[in-house]
Amino acid sequence: MVQVRVSDGLLEGEQVQNEFGGSFYRFRGIPYAQPPLGDLRFKAPQPIKPWQGVRQAKQFGPVCYQFNPTNPGLSNMSEDCLYVNVYTPDVKPQTPLPVMVWIHGGGYVWGSGNDDLYGPEFLIRHNVVLVTFNYRLEVLGFLCLDTADVPGNAGMKDQVAALRWVKRNIANFGGNPDNITIFGESAGAGSVSHHLISPMSKGLFNRAIPQSGATTCFWATAFEPKEKAILLAKQLGFHSEDEKELYEFFKKQPCENLVNLKLQVTTSQKSYEIHFSIANEKDFGQERFFYGDFVDAMKNNLQEGVDIMTGYTKDECTISISIGGPLEDILAKAQRYREFFAPKLIQNFGTITDQLEAARKLQKFYFKNERVSKDNIDTLMKYISVDMFVHGVMLAAKFYSRKNKVYFYKFNCYSERNVFTDAFCVGHLNEGREVVSHADDLAYLFPVKLFTQKVDKTSDTFKLIDRVTKLWTNFAKYGNPTPDNSLGVKWLPYTLAAQDYMDIGDKLIPGHSPDQEELDFWESIFQQYLPKFSMLNK
């Protein structure tokens, strides 16, 4: 038994043994805001009301209601989901410990901070405090009607509330409030990237690790959010475009109705099925998480003095193939629709003529004169990876490096820990390939109990885990993933001139300009058809 006092009351946690060595203290299910129920639905989170006596912090709080295809048996879901979890090696260390705050991904649609995926056992061995939390998802967290009642971004304001809670309370758990690193993957990385430009998040963290995502990925910012809300209402049998009527209708709907229609409400036919996400908020005299144009915000609002580590996995495309439908359907679309190979940013913001011309050039670059088929699925995977993740991540790195120290990587580890092609139901892509899927990096940072078997701490695989977690925790501690010679390599910061990066695989291999030929061609496409999103001269 261990007790810690936070700003809202007294907590009782527990000490647990780490199967990989040592022990740690665990505090779970700590409320960081009022339950967003009733009239608080869709609203910014409100401060928690203090409790009397000792609050037990030994069980996870509920996760946000969600449609979760990776975990269909998920239970304990509720709209009352604003809870934080803290794992610490020592509540009273001699020197305050670096803090790592994990923001989970899942397309702003599913996921949680619970230890079915994001347990502390790997990272905490390196003497850091780990914090995870839940936030509102999908409609509950990202509905936007462009009104004062529903301005959008409630889920991101939840994240800000959690970060403020950490800043205010983490010293009581042995953490250093002046050494906080936020990190996240996929939509969690999109979130981290947005925190780097949001006025609400300024001063709440010192370092950032966006993994496989960025503000500049097309899916990270909402496209026509109000239209999607109207479409959702129609799917539920309510036909109105009046904002007040829509608000009253959505406020009264059971959570199950709102989230179970996920697969029927898409951004548009122009994009993949990431729908309710971070919106451009109008000014209603409230704190706004994000407003304006995201490229302009990256140029002008990026926090300075924040060290950043970012990158992508070798085969990011697996998630897009998973949510895009059966492989046969994707191949049929690629064969039938000329605009299929137009980058999604150009589909969303370019003219029809530009879309068709860009698509023609990209298809020729990737496939020459060959027909798209199962025989060249590797090539299709490369194209989709760049469109959905790599171009946006690289563009963001260019922006980051103008004002901040940046470390760039390409994640290339392969072992039995690479489980996410199966988790995304696209395991057939593994046939004859060593696929390093979108999200495979997670299994080298966290135990990922939902999908993986236990790992032997004397195995070669655990050596990979130890190396990856050391890179991440070194960065959190020092702002440098290789501050000494213990890993046998020096990781140089990324600059516009040198474009240094680290290939993280069985070995750590420094390099310059990852995937250069491919990305240079994408540069030429964006320079010609959508120069605002070009990486040139940033």
pLDDT tens digit at each of 538 positions of the chain: 899 999 999 999 999 999 999 999 999 999 999 999 999 999 999 999 999 999 999 999 999 998 766 666 677 899 999 999 999 999 999 999 999 999 999 999 999 999 999 999 999 999 999 999 999 999 999 999 999 999 999 999 999 999 999 999 999 999 999 999 999 999 999 999 999 999 999 999 999 999 999 999 999 988 888 998 998 999 899 999 999 999 999 999 999 888 866 544 443 344 344 478 999 999 999 999 999 988 999 999 999 999 999 999 999 987 666 555 667 788 888 888 888 999 999 998 999 999 999 999 999 999 997 889 888 888 988 999 999 999 999 999 999 999 999 999 999 999 999 988 776 666 666 666 788 989 999 999 999 988 878 899 999 999 999 999 999 999 999 999 999 999 999 999 999 999 999 999 999 999 999 999 999 999 999 999 999 888 654 4
Find where tokens 């810690």 sit.
4
> Amino acid identity of 389?
F
Fold classification of 312-533 is: Rossmann fold (3.40.50)
Q: Among 121, 275, 438, 534, which one carries the catalytic annotation?
A: 438
* 97-103 and 9-17 beta bridge pairing: unpaired
Q: Of the candidates 232, 320, 215, 245, which has an alpha carbon nearest to the alpha carbon of residue 276?
A: 232
Please say if 186 is a catalytic residue.
yes
Among 79, 121, 185, 186, the active-site one is 186
Selecting among 138, 185, 316, 415, the annotated active-site residue is 316
Q: The domain at 2-69+79-303 falls in which architecture?
A: 3-Layer(aba) Sandwich (3.40)
**Nearest CA-CA partner of 289 in 272, 276, 301:** 301
Query: Which amino acid would we find at residue 430?
Result: N
Is the fold of 2-69+79-303 the same as that of 312-533? yes
Give the whole-angstrom CA distance, residue 52 versus residue 7: 12
The region that residue 479 occupies, defined by phi over 0 for left and psi between -120 and 50 for alpha, beta otherwise, is left
- DSSP secondary structure code for residue 221 in this structure: B
Would you give the distance in Å from CA 183 to the centre of its chain? 8
400-427 residue pLDDT tens: 999 999 999 999 999 999 988 776 666 6
- The residues spanned by each domain of the chain are 2-69+79-303, 312-533
Q: Which two tokens stand for residue 155?
A: 């889920």
Q: Is 126 a catalytic residue?
A: no
Rg of the chain over CA atoms, in angstroms? Answer: 22
Catalytic annotation present for 385: no
